[in-house]
Amino acid sequence: MVFLLASCQTVEPWERDRLAKQDMQLTPNVLDARLADQVFFSKEAASGGGASAGGGCGCN
């Protein structure tokens, strides 16, 4: 992590227009992400890896 941070260039606020695009976000569409989480949670043993604190379901 230290090497990663050391190798990064500082990105100034006025250089962030492309980083602000919808598809550059970790969750570009919150509804698509919720749907995918629900579908995969109900069919696979692995889940998690995100910060969401949503309720469980009887599907798994």
Partner 1 sequence: MGPKNQLTPLALLSAAALSLPAFSASQPTERVVSVNTSVYQEGDADAAEVVFGDLQRFRVKTNQFNLSAPIGRDWSMSLGYDNEAMSGASPWGTVAASDGSGDLIMSGASIDDSRNGVDVNLTRHWRGQSLGVSVGYSGEHDYHSRSLGLNYERDFFKQNTTLALSVSYSSDELTPTDAQLFQRLEKGSKHTRSFYASVNQLLSPVSMLSLGFGITKRIGELSDPYKLRDVRPGKRVERTLTANYRRYFDWQTSSLAVDYRYFWDSYSVGAHTLAMSWMLGDEAGMQWGPMLRYYSQSAAAFYTPWDRYDQLETIAQSSDFRLSTFGAVSYGLKARYRIGAVQISMQYERYDSGSGYALSSAKTEHPGLVDFEVLSLGAEYRF
What are the tokens at 23? Answer: 């598809």
Asked if residue 38 binds partner 1 (CB under 8 A), the reply is: yes
Judge whether 4 and 11 are in contact, CB under 8 Å: no
Q: Considering the rule CB under 8 A, would residue 43 count as an interface residue with partner 1?
A: yes
Distance CA 51, CA 46 (A): 15
Kindly state whether residue 5 participates in binding partner 1, applying the rule CB under 8 A.
Answer: yes
Q: Is 1 one of the binding residues for partner 1 (CB under 8 A)?
A: yes
Where on the chain is the footprint of partner 1 (CB under 8 A)? 1, 4-5, 8-32, 34-35, 38-40, 43-58, 60
